[in-house]
Structure 1
Amino acid sequence: MRRLAATLGLIAAVAGGAFALAQSDIFDPAAIAARERDQLIDAKQQSAAAMARSALLEKQAVAAVSEADRLKKRSAALAARIQSAEADISAGEARVALVSRRLSAQRARLAEQQQPLLELAASLQQLSRQPPVSVLAQPGSLTDIVHARAVIDAAMPVIERRTAGVRRELAALDTTRRQQGIALQALSSSKAQLAQRRDALTRLENEGRLRSRELMSSAQLEADRALGLGEKARDIVELMDSLEADSAVRAELAQLAGPLPRPRNPAVAEAGAAPSTAPAEAEQTQGAYRLPVVGRIVTGLGEVNESGVRSRGVTIAARPGGQVVAPAPGRVSFAGDYRGYGKIVIVDHGGGWVSLLTGMIALSVGVGDTLDAGAPVGRAGSDDSRITVELRRAGRPVDIVAMIG
């Protein structure tokens, strides 16, 4: 009778709802970790935005008149496609993590549901093997046996429903396994696309270097001067101030009128001469700026880091080897190593606007290069890379959030 009582106890547990299923949580977004969900959404948005930029740049490259301009647009379009592939990889990793988390939860829930059912099945099997005479010979009254039979008959429909729920759980588990395989396959495809696009960009950059070889002498002189300023500057802010002063001088020299040929009739020429107008200063308007790398913002302007230093820009956690691009059109004032910052690039946008990009491990631009928005400038490091971008106007930091398009 002790075995019979144990069996009845298991049946009561089943009938009492110990195996209540939470199948609504299997694909419920609310049950997914918020951080992983946000990473997946952000990565998909970044990928779509990068592909839209690439399509626009490809159209501009086709419409370009000069070969140099066409090469720049193609490079920027490829860089955007690289960033799209990087975002796809981030999205794929987040998707795999979500599916794996769901798979683990389903396995744990299934194991919890299966154990009591296995024990119940074993007890019922042992009970069914005993002949009725031996059951009657055991201590206890006939009323107990009748009661047990009634409980078993009432519990069987409940047990059938619960086991049906376990079967549905097994089917959902199989579906999740297939989803995991699809997510892993998509992640592998994104990685292959990234490698192909990086190779194509490298070939395009080498082609551009060969075509601009005749300008190397003057560019080298300017690069040497910029490196000299970097060695003399006490810190990176002083370096940017010096380069800004150089930019202002260069802009003033560019506005000076060159020698004009002597007119045949000076009186007529003097009367019809229109007043010269200086070119308007460049302005960074809302939507004209972009983040230079795909990733997650970890530090904003004005935030204090662990060392107690207040940030002058935005720091982004980039993917290993992530593609870094120009946040806006401009001219490279400095490109090279700088103490404590890794390889840096300073871009002069004109009108007193300057961008500083730090934390790169490789550069693809040099001093004097003219960049379009989205042009490739370098690569992030291999592990735990942090790319910082600072936008300054007349020597003062500017919050780029309002500028980002």
Structure 2
Amino acid sequence: MIRAFAFISLIWASTALAQTSPGEAAVNAAQRIEDASIQLQNASSARDRVTALTETVKAYEEGLIALREGLRRAAVRQEALELELNAKSDEIAQLLGVLQSMGRAPSPVLLLHPTGPTGTARSGMILADVTPALQDEVVALRAQLEEVAFLRDLQNNAADTLTKGLNGAQSARAALSAAISDRTDLPQRFTEDDIQTALLIASAETLDAFASGLNDTIGTELDISSPDALSKRGELPLPVQGRVLRGFNEEDLAGISRPGLLIAARPRVIVTTPVAATLRFRGPLLDYGNVVILEPAADVLFIYAGLAEVFGNVGEILPAGSPIGMMGGDSPLVDEILTEMQNGAGLTATETLYLEVREGQAPVDPALWFAIE
């Protein structure tokens, strides 16, 4: 039994070395949030505040994701360790009894055997074999108890770290919105004809009709060359961190299909352009909510729908990685996150972003442009 327990402990130790432990993952995530707070302080003096703040928002988002996952794994690991220790309570009691007996008895007495020198020699050999196994079991038991204490302490302090991360992310988003409003250094391809845009919004009954009439909304064209992302076709990352719920022309539960992707995302996550593109439209449209339409190449449109906030001025050429908006929803409260983690629940992606790609006058599969896992 003792050797089996020691063997299991050695297997667990080798597995723990092969991958980051839940506790280490949570600690590393907390450090990422601390680094993001430093980035936020430095962003005010950065030459390009929008870029610096965009990276800061992403750093907070990634840190919070990693922290929530680390805490979830820590809660699961702690429960598993406590169940394992409870199941071995009798064995642990026997081990402690043996160790106490060995500790009280003088060494010569432990080696003496009533059958004489031969028995004494055999008892010495047995004790020499048993002692390392007992020592290994004690070391493994101590490691498990220390890990349980560490995980408990980690979760007890998690509320402060989560509060700091959530507040920092909110401050970074607000600063980013202000910086985008103040930005005046982007090249502009054209000015918008507000009247024609309003007429198009009022008359278009479908997204297809609106996209087809976008050229009529151009006021004065300026002498600026347009972006050309054709060389990056098929390699672009998705504009938001999330997972694809439905693919191109895939039917939903109601039997309705759309010529685009539906991406599940977390509340308040930032949405960026994956490549340099001209901003052709932003604002509410039909029943799609807030919509952003980008032109990354001639006769190519990227359409994003379902955002809560949208950024930028129509006609501007946005660099790759520029924020174009944020998803809606409410950031979860600290108590809600901790409850989810204690229950072993994962991250919740409650918002959805619709992504459509059009070439010429027709939609095409976004997988032709985006690297979709």
1:319 alignment counterpart: 266
1:170 partner letter: L
1:230 partner letter: I
Counterpart mapping for 1:73-88 below 5 A: 73-88=48-63
Aligned-partner Cα distance in 1 for 2:139–2:83:
18
Counterpart mapping for 1:186-265 below 5 A: 187-208=162-183, 219=192, 222-243=193-214, 245-246=215-216
2:231 alignment counterpart: 285
Scaled by the length of structure 1, the TM-score of the pair is 0.59
1:397 alignment counterpart: 364
1:387 partner letter: L
Pick from 291, 295, 307 the counterpart of residue 254 of structure 2: 307
**Does the C-alpha gap of structure 1 residues 380 and 294 become closer, same or farther in structure 2, counting only changes over 3 Å?**
same
Give the drift of 1:97: 1.1
- Point out the more displaced range, 95-104 or 294-303: 294-303
CA deviation digits over 1:289-348, x for unaligned, max 9? 442223333334344333333443333322211112233333333222223321111123
Asked if the contact 1:329/1:372 (under 8 Å) is kept, the reply is yes
Larger radius of gyration: 1
Aligned-partner Cα distance in 1 for 2:293–2:248:
18
Asked if the contact 1:86/1:319 (under 8 Å) is kept, the reply is no
Aligned-partner Cα distance in 2 for 1:358–1:115:
60
* Count of matched residue pairs: 303
Give the drift of 1:178: 5.0
**Does the C-alpha gap of structure 1 residues 335 and 230 become closer, same or farther in structure 2, counting only changes over 3 Å?**
same
Give the drift of 1:181: 6.3
Asked if the contact 2:230/2:297 (under 8 Å) is kept, the reply is no
2:197 partner letter: A
Asked if the contact 2:74/2:151 (under 8 Å) is kept, the reply is yes
Give the drift of 1:78: 1.9
1:297 partner letter: V
**Does the C-alpha gap of structure 1 residues 21 and 381 become closer, same or farther in structure 2, counting only changes over 3 Å?**
same
CA deviation digits over 1:181-213, x for unaligned, max 9? 68766555443432332232133234348x99x
Q: Helix, strand or coil for the counterpart of 1:28?
A: helix
Asked if the contact 1:25/1:31 (under 8 Å) is kept, the reply is no
Is 1:170 the equivalent of 2:117?
A: no
Give the drift of 1:17: 5.3
Counterpart mapping for 1:6-405 below 5 A: 21-22=8-9, 24-25=11-12, 28=15, 62=47, 73-115=48-90, 117-118=92-93, 165-177=140-152, 180=155, 187-208=162-183, 219=192, 222-243=193-214, 245-246=215-216, 282-286=228-232, 289-382=236-329, 384-394=350-360, 395-400=362-367, 402-403=369-370
List gaps (5 residues or longer) in structure 1. Answer: 1-13, 63-72, 126-149, 257-278
Aligned-partner Cα distance in 2 for 1:23–1:75:
50
Aligned-partner Cα distance in 2 for 1:376–1:337:
17
Q: Helix, strand or coil for the counterpart of 2:88?
A: helix
2:216 partner letter: D
Asked if the contact 2:236/2:275 (under 8 Å) is kept, the reply is yes
CA deviation digits over 1:256-298, x for unaligned, max 9? 9xxxxxxxxxxxxxxxxxxxxxx79834222774422233333
**Does the C-alpha gap of structure 1 residues 310 and 101 become closer, same or farther in structure 2, counting only changes over 3 Å?**
same
Q: Helix, strand or coil for the counterpart of 1:78?
A: helix
List gaps (5 residues or longer) in structure 2. Answer: 101-122, 331-349
- Return the structure number with greater helix share: 1
Q: Report % sequence identity.
A: 19
1:260 alignment counterpart: none
Give the drift of 1:111: 1.0
Give the drift of 1:360: 0.7
Asked if the contact 2:227/2:296 (under 8 Å) is kept, the reply is no
Asked if the contact 1:286/1:403 (under 8 Å) is kept, the reply is no
Give the drift of 1:375: 2.4
Aligned-partner Cα distance in 2 for 1:93–1:85:
12
Pairwise CA RMSD: 4.6
**Does the C-alpha gap of structure 1 residues 359 and 159 become closer, same or farther in structure 2, counting only changes over 3 Å?**
same
2:171 partner letter: Q
Scaled by the length of structure 2, the TM-score of the pair is 0.63
Asked if the contact 1:344/1:360 (under 8 Å) is kept, the reply is yes
Asked if the contact 1:331/1:347 (under 8 Å) is kept, the reply is yes
Aligned-partner Cα distance in 1 for 2:325–2:58:
12
- Point out the more displaced range, 176-185 or 165-174: 176-185
